[in-house]
Structure 1
């Protein structure tokens, strides 16, 4: 039997709720948390637990525009908090999966090293 490198839908739902994936998926977790689309993925992952709440808003009495406005307000608020706590959530997921907490996107790390060497060449080392 081969080991999976991507989570099943059920594993992914558990991952969104904060569960640890098997060690064979560590590369997938690293790419998920440091890859180029990490922010949109984090925001989508953060909205999954709110889906039942948003669905319940549709059951409230009143005109449809009012119910949709409730969903929009809840979505904006949830996105705000999801984005505000993204660094802490990311660090927790990295630690949970046995990866370094300060792990960076490889492209971003390369760009940072280039900028640092350029600065040190122009201004000296501090």
Structure 2
């Protein structure tokens, strides 16, 4: 059975921090533990920042007629600072998101760690310990 994905409107709600219905619990866990979990986190943060950046651009560049270069540099620095802090707290943020959907505290981190260890064990069994040797 495949994991049920939320529709685009539900995903937008999820991206800005909302809780999805319980039927999407498994998808939330997959979202937090897939190999691309950090990329997904960055995309969610960019979606969260987009309306704020658009409003600031509208006010500063269009309504107040500030120099476009200064506005774009300022917005770029805002994106940089926002992404910097978002990435610093990405593990905590994703773990909190998973906990909000009914899983134990730090469950996503534990699952990611277990998946990474299983991959490392598989690699070692193939290439280090039991694999073909070249002599």
Cα distance, 1:47 vs structure 2: 2.1
Cα distance, 1:106 vs structure 2: 5.7
Residue of structure 2 equivalent to 1:77: 81
TM-score (normalised: structure 1) = 0.76
Q: Distance in 2 between matches of 1:93 and 1:113?
A: 29
Residue of structure 2 equivalent to 1:109: 117
Cα distance, 1:112 vs structure 2: 5.2
Cα distance, 1:23 vs structure 2: 2.3
Q: Distance in 2 between matches of 1:40 and 1:111?
A: 20
Structure with the bigger percentage of helix: 2
Is the 1:57–1:70 contact (alpha carbons within 8 Å) kept by the matching residues of 2? Answer: no
Structure 1 counterpart SS, 2:112:
coil
- List per-residue Cα deviations over 1:28-74 (Å, max 9, x = no partner): 11211110111111011012222122112323122221111111001
| Matched pairs, number | 115
Residue of structure 2 equivalent to 1:34: 33
In structure 1, list runs of 5 or more residues that go unmatched.
Answer: 116-126
- Runs of 4+ deviating beyond 6 Å: none
Residue of structure 2 equivalent to 1:53: 52
